[in-house]
Amino acid sequence: MPEPLLVAAVGDIHGRFHRVETWLDALEQARGRRVDLVLAVGDVEAFRRADDHRRKAAKRAMPAEFAEYADGLRQVKRPLYFIGGNNEDFEALHDLQLGGTLAPNVTYLGRAGVRELCGLRVAYLSGIHAPRFVDQPLKPPSTPDMVKQAGYFRTPEVEQVAELRDVDLMLVHEWPRGIVQRAREENPSPPRPLPSYWIGNPVTRRLVDTVLPKWMLCGHSHKGFAVTLEGPGRPATRIACLDQAARAQESIFWLEYEGRQALRAGWGLSGAISWTAGQRWDMNSLPPLAAEGEGAPAEFGLGEAMPARN
């Protein structure tokens, strides 16, 4: 019988490819097998030239590590597919609106659509919601203002995804609106701290309620989160929101599949299972809260936190 498919997801990378590769090495060791597929939920910052990255990331000094992969000095070990967030090399991605390869084993999925990856139907919508721009045409990112607006999704892209059905995984950057309130109603005891109820946008929420994917993965808000959307006559959608790549505990999430059936899932690098098919998926499914000041495991030397950049 074939080995189950191991899918790893990673939160906002923000240029830190070396760190993510080290983390995935550790996850493979913990699970005792290779990661078959890596999915990234936006704000990857795959800038192909180091000088471009420094110029565009003026708000925050971030590494330009992807340039080493684009130049062939390093190679990503596992197939990585990513969507766009609101901080990307939009000049490069504009010519790849339907997707394309940026370096060996690194593929941009595109602005919106569906792709079959390792037998799974993966739907995706890049960008965040900006009401002022959602009905405007996408323009070439030739000025700073146009670069910024490239990080917003448009109505035709949303409509394209809304027509999809039978989706195993949906990737979005920004959370759907209302999931914090759902978690607030179900918050475990002892309760976990929750973000503000207004996080997320109504467009992504309408998408998840229309497409009804089995799983949705989100980034952007730099916080681990778990909730299930379901109701009478509505199949469950399990939502996992991932932290940025500051510490692995909530920024790495993995799923094991047999065919298209999710069997189990977990967070971080330990390989510990936090959910199995048939169990409830909610805030109790998150890893235990870290002690104050605790970061990534010391043996990886990756404990420094990064400031949020939404």
- DSSP calls for 105-152: TEEE--SEEEEEETTEEEEEE-SB--TTTTTSPP----SHHHHHHTTB
pLDDT interval class at 290 (50, 70, 90):
low
* pLDDT, position 156: 98
- pLDDT score of 295 more than 50: no
The DSSP H or E segment spanning 161 is helix 155-162
Predicted local distance difference test score (pLDDT) of residue 53: 53
> pLDDT value at position 2?
79
Q: Is the pLDDT at 85 greater than 90, yes or no?
A: yes
Task: Read off φ and ψ for residue 28, nearest 5 degrees.
Answer: -60, -40
- Residue 164 in contact with residue 146, Cβ under 8 Å? no
Short-list 154, 147, 110, CA closest to 129: 154
Which of 98, 97, 95, 107 has the alpha carbon at shortest distance from 46? Answer: 107
Determine the average pLDDT of the residues in 267-279: 97
| pLDDT of 273 higher than 60 | yes
Q: What pLDDT is recorded for position 301? A: 35
- With a pLDDT cut of 70, the percent of the chain lying above it is 88
| Strands of 252-258's sheet in order across | 100-103, 106-108, 80-82, 37-40, 5-10, 252-258, 261-267, 275-276
Q: Note the pLDDT of residue 308.
A: 40
- DSSP-derived 3-state class of residue 220: coil
What tens digit of pLDDT does each residue of 193-225 get?
788 878 999 999 999 999 999 999 999 999 999
Instruction: Inform me whether the pLDDT recorded for 272 exceeds 60.
Output: yes
Return the ∠ at Cα 65 (arms to 61 and 68), rounded to 5°.
145
**Position 296 pLDDT exceeds 60:** no
pLDDT in tens, 2-36: 789 999 999 999 999 999 999 999 999 999 999 99
Q: Name the more confident of 63 and 276.
A: 276
Pick the residue with more confidence: 104 or 309? 104
Distance in angstroms (rounded) separating the CA atoms of residues 89 and 28 = 30
pLDDT digits (tens, 9 = 90+) for 151-161: 999 999 999 99
**Is the pLDDT score of 66 beyond 50?**
yes
Is there a contact between 166 and 187 (Cβ–Cβ < 8 Å)? no
Instruction: Kindly indicate the confidence band of residue 188, based on its pLDDT and cuts at 50, 70 and 90.
Output: low
Mean pLDDT of 269-289: 94
Residue 309, pLDDT score: 41
Opening angle at CA 15, ends 106 and 51, nearest 5:
100
Exposure pattern of 261-290 as b/e (b: 16+ CB <10 Å)? ebebbbbbbbeeebbeeeeebbbebbeeee
**Does pLDDT of 226 surpass 80?**
yes
Note the pLDDT of residue 307: 37
State the pTM of this model.
Answer: 0.91
Give the Cα separation of 310 and 86 in Å (integer): 8
